[in-house]
Amino acid sequence: MLVLQCSCLLPPPNIASSVLPRRFYCVPPFPTAKYSPHCYTSMKISPAMLRIAGSQKTNAQSLEREIGDDGYGDKEEEFASPSEFRGREEGKNYDKDPEFAEILGSCLEDPQKARSKMDDRLKKKRNKILHTKTGSGTPMKVTFNKFDFSNSYIWFEFYNAPLEKDISLICNTIRSWHIIGRLGGCNAMNMQLSQSPMDKRPSYDAIQGANVNPTTFYNIGDLEIQDNLARVWVDIGTTEPLILDVLINALTQISSDYIGIKQLVFGGSQFENWKENLAEDAGYSVHKI
């Protein structure tokens, strides 16, 4: 029996067999030939095989670096900056209104599209943005009934019983009117700018303004309300019609825009069905001016 020993070389597990030359395989020349099981001991690697294995290792390392740079393989870089979490928390404000967030996102890419979306948004929600007037379209009636500048009531008649916000608005208006009058802001004797022609640059004479007789709002009472009626006592002191014009102009605008005032009466000790000495639990209230 012919025993044939060959120092064959089998390919390493990580190298494809297609790149190995035929001389590395052991093929017995005869069918009855036997070969030694120690054919791995004399294994030799050519320089070409080393170059192939090195290139594969280099490609694997470069692939790992690319994955790390993209942020998929490096967990420390993904959670390194706490500012990312702050940015996400700030972005949650848009969760309540995703439509507005979409409009902001399209401003840079397509400004015309963002503008059209904003116009549609205003049309849909204009009832929540633009509030209709709650006052009255009928002009407020103003009458005088033996009005005394030093001791008189000013009466208000509303179309409906005023709400808390309406009472606050009326009180603030009367309080502001009293402060301006007390500081002498409503002095008809010193109307230099309103009486001068406006076709040229206005001028003001400080000496003339200082020598005018002052007008001072002396005193005012609290605002009393009974259902849809109200009154306030005033002591203006000097006869100054301008101070009444200022109040009438302000109440006219309030009646038109906020709370309808049916009529405003200057003077008189009684008005309509006003009741004296009425308890607070019977629809009567007093509000500080």
Are 61 and 182 part of one and the same domain?
no
Do residues 113 and 234 both lie within one domain? no
Judgement on whether residues 61 and 121 belong to the same structural domain of the protein: no
Percent of the chain exceeding pLDDT 70 equals 63
Residue 196 has pLDDT above 80, yes or no: yes
Q: Are residues 157 and 38 in the same domain?
A: no
145 pLDDT exceeds 70? yes
* Same-domain pairing of 122 and 149: no
Model confidence at 161: pLDDT above 80: yes
Q: For residue 39, what is the DSSP state?
A: T
Q: Say if 106 falls within a structural domain.
A: yes
**Do 150 and 267 fall within a single domain?**
yes
Q: Assess if residue 72 is contained within a domain.
A: no
| pLDDT(82) > 50 | no
88 within some domain: yes
What is the structure's pLDDT at 50? 54
Task: Give residues with Cβ within 8 angstroms of 267, minimum separation 6.
Answer: 144, 145, 146, 147, 148, 152, 153
Q: Is residue 166 part of a domain?
A: yes
Q: Based on the structure, what is the number of domains in the chain? A: 3
pLDDT > 90: percent of the chain: 41
Examine residue 136 and state whether it is found in any structural domain, yes or no. Answer: no
pLDDT score recorded for residue 220:
97
- Name the residue range of residue 158's domain: 141-186+214-271+280-287
Q: What is the pLDDT of residue 105?
A: 75
Lowest mean pLDDT among 25-29, 48-52, 94-98, 209-213: 25-29
Question: Do 51 and 105 lie in a common domain?
Answer: no
- Nearest residue to 246 via CA among 237, 233, 236: 236
169 with 220, same domain: the answer is yes
Is pLDDT above 70 for 101? yes
Query: What does the block give as tokens for 251?
Result: 């109440």
Do residues 145 and 226 both lie within one domain?
yes
Question: How many residues are given for the chain?
Answer: 289
pTM: 0.56
Answer yes or no: is 191 within a domain: no
